[in-house]
């Protein structure tokens, strides 16, 4: 099930969909937030079928990733040998280690405000940072476009994880998905619709005639 992907059918991706922009990341953020606001209040402490974390903890992981992508370009000389060393901790041993936690007293609405705020910082840094800048990532040093694309993956794919099985409509923009694939998954097939292809490239769905992906990582190195 593609959670609404069938409603945005695109026969294939363009050969070169162009660079991924800060506006694309913002679009990914907004479509994800629209879906996450539909998660029932009593579901936030539950575990999505495909993850070991609760939905709340998964959103805090998303916050952590987006904040990390933003702060990597904060120093005038971005780090090339590791992440900016913010302290991190988990809510419990099995929870993700994060430098961002939302106040549980603020409820799901507050949690999503924290997510939107962290994402806005990533969008802003992608807008103002020189495209020639590079910063450390565990998969290889990347540029502002690469980090924006990584932020879009965090938003789009983990939102899919969080709402799977809840019957919430979800249709990420095909153009954004195409540019994410072109930037981070250059070996992905270009003859299928972008959103199902992104799900396939990250091990979440099948594509006709292709084996299921069981081990994957993106390539953030500058093109």
pLDDT over 90, % of the chain: 86
In terms of Cα–Cα distance, which of 190, 189, 196 is closest to 171? 196
On whether residue 151 sits in a domain, the answer given is yes
User: pLDDT at residue 62 above 90?
Assistant: yes
User: Is residue 218 within 8 Å of residue 153, measured between CB atoms?
Assistant: yes
- Tens of pLDDT, residues 140-161: 999 999 999 999 999 999 999 9
Is 130 a domain residue? Answer: yes
What's residue 14's pLDDT?
66
State mean pLDDT over 2-14.
46
Report yes or no on 209 lying in a domain. no
Instruction: For residue 207, tell me if it sits in a domain.
Output: no
pTM, two decimals, is: 0.91
Provide the domain count of the chain.
1
pLDDT above 90 for 47: no
DSSP-derived secondary structure letter, 135: B
Assigned domain for 153 exists: yes
Domain that holds residue 60: 5-201
Task: Kindly tell me the burial class for residue 138, based on how many C-beta atoms sit within 10 Å of its own C-beta (0-12, 13-18, 19 or more).
Answer: exposed
Other CB atoms within a 10 A radius of the CB of residue 174 amount to 18
In a domain, 45, yes or no: yes
Distance between CA 58 and CA 91 in Å, rounded?
11
Does the pLDDT at position 131 exceed 70? Answer: yes
Does residue 81 fall inside a structural domain? yes
| Residue range 71-97, pLDDT digits in tens | 999 999 999 999 999 999 999 998 999
- CATH number reported for the structural domain that contains residue 83 in this entry: 1.20.120.450
Give the pLDDT band of residue 13 (cuts 50, 70, 90): low
Place of tokens 């479509």: 31
Instruction: Quote the CA–CA distance of 5 and 10 in Å, as a whole number.
Output: 10
Exposed, middle or buried by CB within 10 Å (0-12, 13-18, 19+), for 190? middle
Residue 123 and residue 29 in contact, taking contact as beta carbons nearer than 8 Å:
yes
Least confident residue range of 109-113, 133-137, 147-151, 189-193:
189-193
pLDDT band for 12, please (50, 70, 90 cuts).
low
Token pair listed for 162:
């969080």
117 pLDDT above the threshold of 50: yes
- Does a structural domain hold residue 214? no
- With cut-offs at 50, 70 and 90, classify the pLDDT of residue 44: very high
Q: Rounded to the nearest 5°, which phi and psi values hold at 69?
A: -65, -35
């Amino acid at each position: 099930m593609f959670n609404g992907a069938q409603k945005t059918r695109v026969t294939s991706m363009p050969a070169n969909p162009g660079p991924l922009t800060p506006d694309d990341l913002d679009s990914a953020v907004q479509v994800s937030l629209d879906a996450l606001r539909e998660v029932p209040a009593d579901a936030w402490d539950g575990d999505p079928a495909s993850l070991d974390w609760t939905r709340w903890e998964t959103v805090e992981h998303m916050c952590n990733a987006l904040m990390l992508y933003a702060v990597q370009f904060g120093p005038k000389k971005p780090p090339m040998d590791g992440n900016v060393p913010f302290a991190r901790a988990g809510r419990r041993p099995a929870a993700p280690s994060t430098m961002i936690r939302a106040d549980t007293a603020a409820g799901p609405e507050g949690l999503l405000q924290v997510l939107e705020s962290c994402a806005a910082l990533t969008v802003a840094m992608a807008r103002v940072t020189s495209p020639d800048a590079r910063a450390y990532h565990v998969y290889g040093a990347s540029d502002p476009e690469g980090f924006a694309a990584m932020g879009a993956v965090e938003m789009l794919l983990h939102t899919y994880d969080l709402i799977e099985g809840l019957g919430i409509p979800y249709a990420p923009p095909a153009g954004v998905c195409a540019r994410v694939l072109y930037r981070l998954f250059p070996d992905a097939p270009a003859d299928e619709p972008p959103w199902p292809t992104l799900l396939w490239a990250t091990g979440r769905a099948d594509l006709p005639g292709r084996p299921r992906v069981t081990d994957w990582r993106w390539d953030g190195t500058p093109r």
